[in-house]
Amino acid sequence: MAAEQTKPRAARRPAAPRLPVREVLGAPGSVRRPIVFLAIAFGLSGLIAPSFLRLSNLNALLVSSSFLIVTAVGEALVVLMGMIDLGVQSVLASAGMMVAYLNIMVPLPAAAAVPVALLYGVAVGWLVGVLVTRGRIASFIVTLGTYWGLTGIALLFNRGDNINPYSVTPPRQFGFLGFAGHLGPVPTLIVLSVLVVLAGEVLVSMTPFGLWVKSVGSNEAAARVVGLSTDALKTIAFMASGGLAALAGIMITAWQDSIYPLTAQGYSLQAIAGVILGGIPFTGGRGTILGAAIGALIIGLIDDLIVLLGLPALYEYIFVAIVLVIAGLQTRGKGFVK
Amino acid sequence: MPGGPEPPQRRPLLSVRHLSKSFGPVRAVDDVSLDVYPQEIVGIVGDNAAGKSTFLRLLTGYHQPDGGEIFYRGRPVRISSPRTSRRELGIEMIYQDLSLAPDLRVWENVFLGEERRRLGIFLDAGAMREATADALAKLGAPISPSELFANLSGGEQQAVAIARALLFEREIIIMDEPTAAISLGKVQEVLRLVAELRARGHTVLIVSHRLEDILQVSDRIAVFSHGKILRVVPNEGLRIEDLFRMMFESA
């Protein structure tokens, strides 16, 4: 229909030279868009700060972005269904505090502490899912609750203090430092985040589950009339989001060799920004996990660039804001926008 | 005018006996009985709130009746959910708003919830695209299966919804106001699709406010008023005025 409407207009106007935006960027929701954005961002970054393109810097960028990327994959599933998870940063911090507490303060072996922390993230997601679907409370409200509430939980573990190997006497090493190690020449954190992104991308673009998730975001009634259990699908998305945020919390604890209860402040909104930047509209229905991961990487890249240029960190907020509005433009919805 | 014999076979495909459904004090469907025969088109007419939609929703498992019975090929059935209705009885409802996903491609919409798979877990996109193209071609609607649903015209969207019913060989296709949301120029196109469904052996229940459409395609017409079926008439020599009179004669 859009084509029908634009034809007469095009006929009236003399043919103006037009940038081939569609041809380069692909359709809305296409993974080509974030890839083009990433290429532009790399090019610009290389021009502004030549040291950016050094392998060591790219390696550092991927490692420090891995936590946000993993978190953004879960967030992407939720946003694809037209919902939001504001609580991921608090799940991340509280799961990090939990794994550290269990591993060196209780102490439990890492082989028990890590699965418990992961299960905790999944359980939080389940609770959010139940409150959203059975409780019929908007996901924004429920996850605003986890956003605040789980920060409180994170603060409880060591009475507001951080947990590091010296929090106990005698000092005790974290048993899960392997997360921050290397697999061959590649940092494990990068391998993990790539695996999470690949698994998410395969799930969303190549399996029926992905189709169901997108159908709920696009038109929930359509999903219901064909007999899909939309409540179960939504709950699964929140469980994935919680579980991946918890994984990011464990990763960050291993990487820092310590964990602060207020770690990852701002991550929820950064993850959401990455998802939008990656081409998933706020209303859901279309887009890719790979795009969301690239979006998160671009957010990390802005952070990295600010450091390389020696600019005060406040510039990061301004850059992210500008990039986000641009991203919003290319995922804007049709019809009314609330 | 109707092309099919009337009724083609004597044994009903679907029989409804004394079906009732109330919402609070409102008797939305009140002691409704109807036989639907294979390969016929039954038009359903009635004023707003006459009970048409609730009646259809009882057949598609969206509501559960308070009383009465439904027989499918002579055997009593309980339609407990939309899934039962679709999968076990082969009843497909095409809603007025179509209930398809605008952000999904045509083939994704057609196969949503009934995907063909490879290795048990992966979408067999190629096979589904091909089957969708085939079904659309049978309907004489040349639409690319890879097109985004949102990019289609109203008539094309209706064709996709019908293709879905055709592809899964649903026996009974229920259409709720199929011509309400499309441009007048496309109405004949959709009515042609409805007749095509009957020609391919399907049974169609069609609800419409556009009485001329009902008169054009239906073999028989059921007139609803205040939750009851006032009468079921063969579509022979009927005019719009006759239907109007029937719809309001008890009001």
- A59 contacts A316 by C-beta, under 8 angstroms: no
Closest-CA residue of A relative to B107 is: A211
Between B87, B99, B121, which is nearest A221 by CB? B99
CA distance A318 to A314: 7
Q: What ipTM describes this predicted complex?
A: 0.85
Asked if the Cβ–Cβ distance from B102 to A227 is below 8 Å, we say: no
Structure tokens at A263: 């770690």
Q: What is the pLDDT of residues A21-66, one digit of tens each?
A: 667 777 666 788 888 888 988 898 889 888 888 999 999 999 999 9
How many interface pairs between A and B have CB atoms less than 8 angstroms apart? 80
Q: How far is B146 from chain A (nearest CA, A)?
A: 12
**Hey, are the CB atoms on A227 and B82 less than 8 Å from each other?**
yes
Note the pLDDT of residue B107: 97
pTM of the model: 0.87
Nearest CB to B113: which of A207, A214, A227?
A227
Cβ neighbour number for residue A232 with a 10 Å cutoff = 12
Cβ-count burial A165-183 (b if 16+ within 10 Å, e if not): eebeeeeeebbbeebbeee
Cα separation, A307 vs A91, whole angstroms: 27
The tens digit of pLDDT for each residue in B72-130 reads: 999 999 998 888 888 888 998 888 776 799 999 999 999 999 999 999 999 999 999 99
On the question of a cis peptide bond just before residue B178, with omega within 30 degrees of 0, the verdict is no
How far from the centroid of its chain's Cα atoms is residue A252's Cα? 14
Residues in chain B within 8 Å Cβ distance of A224: 82, 99
pLDDT tens track for B1-42: 444 455 555 789 999 999 999 999 988 999 999 999 999 999
Separation of alpha carbons A242 and A246, rounded Å: 6
Residue B219's Cα: distance from chain center in Å?
A: 14
CA distance B246 to chain A (A): 33
Domains in chain A, start-ordered, CATH in brackets? 59-329 (1.10.3470)
CA nearest to A163, candidates A116, A91, A107: A107
Check CB contact under 8 Å for B121 and A207: yes
Please tell me the predicted confidence (pLDDT) of residue B244. 87
**Residue A3 forms contact with B (CB below 8 Å):** yes
* Tokens, residue A293: 């991961």
Q: Which of A207, A224, A286 sits opposite B103 (nearest CB)?
A: A286
- Nearest C-alpha neighbor of A267 from the set A286, A287, A244, A285: A244
